[in-house]
Amino acid sequence: MATIQWFPGHMTRARRQIEEKLKLIDVAIELIDARVPLSSRNPMVDTILQHKPRLVLLNKLDLADPAATADWVAFFQEKGLDALPIDAVTGSGTRDIVPRCRKLMAEKMEARQRKGMNPRAIRALIVGIPNVGKSTLINKLAGRKVAATGDKPGVTKGQQWIKMAGGELELLDTPGILWPKFEDQQVGLRLATIGSIKEEIMPADEVAFYAVRYIAEAYPGVLSERYGIGELPADLSEAETVIEVMENIGRKRGCVVSGGRVDLGKASTLILRELRAGKLGRISLERPDMA
């Protein structure tokens, strides 16, 4: 769970820290969440990373809709960015990271060789907003626990290089932490849906309301199948209709208070917990046509 409360001072410091690290590396590995590739990106990432060769990793592929993920890979490739879906927990897809970095650096390394210089390791840095899986990925690639979770901008510690692929690639063990685009209400709701914004900032019932309406429209059948609530109304434009669906789910799951009334807060927490755990299947909250 993300713990950082971002203030302008934090952003300035985070940016300065990444800019320092950029001087040390050849390739920037931008980690985003495959379910929300727009909302889990920093709004200034292109400016911050400048012209560094970049690999985009769509993490948590296990939770995302495979068709949407494939569309996102094509979307980034059209923009000239190499993109790769991965699962940092199981390591699925991660063995392609080194070959992709090698490809991004091929020209530069060949030029070095032509000048008679010795081959050297490709140096890389993982960057991303909180909770996208930076520490999980660094630990996975290192094969041991090296990255601290719950990292904060401004907390400096000695950084080390993790050697991979027989010394061909070296990865900084402290990731670059970026901030999300909070000004946008949709971005906030989507990040809260995947569990990247604390409940004190975005109440569960508000988030579940958004999630239920979205899932009912984008993945018809999923909610009625999971909760046995019969066919959903076709038109969910009225708030009361969405709340009725949430109440039906709550009733089915025993989220009731005295008098048989549905505890909407409890139902909301349950829905969000199941969604985040993948119990509703593989669901993406964003598609390239929303970009």
| Binds ligand GDP by CB under 6 A, chosen from 45, 124, 132, 187 | 132
Nearer to ligand GDP, 53 or 130 (CB): 130
Work out which of 26, 30, 87, 247 binds ligand GDP, going by CB under 6 A.
Answer: 87
- Answer yes or no whether residue 128 interacts with ligand GDP by CB under 6 A: yes
Rounded Cα–Cα distance for residues 222 and 216 (Å): 7
Among 36, 38, 49, 63, binds ligand GDP (CB under 6 A): 63
Decide: is 21 part of the binding site for ligand GDP (CB under 6 A).
no
* The only residue of 14, 88, 189, 283 in contact with ligand GDP, by rule CB under 6 A: 88
Q: Is 133 in the site for ligand GDP (CB under 6 A)?
A: yes
Structure tokens of 220? Answer: 């018809």
Q: Decide: is 176 part of the binding site for ligand GDP (CB under 6 A).
A: no
Using CB under 6 A as the binding rule, whether residue 96 contacts ligand GDP is answered as no
Q: How many residues bind ligand GDP (CB under 6 A)?
A: 16
Q: Say whether residue 149 binds ligand GDP (CB under 6 A).
A: yes
**CB closest to ligand GDP, residue no:** 133
Residue among 136, 174, 193, 268 that touches ligand GDP (CB under 6 A) = 136
Query: Does residue number 135 form part of the binding site for ligand GDP (CB under 6 A)?
Result: yes
| Side-chain half-sphere CA neighbours of 58 within 13 A | 30
* 59 lies in the site for ligand GDP, by CB under 6 A: yes
Quote the least distance from Cβ 78 to ligand GDP, whole Å. Answer: 24
Applying CB under 6 A, the residues found at the interface with ligand GDP are: 59-60, 62-63, 87-89, 128, 130-136, 149
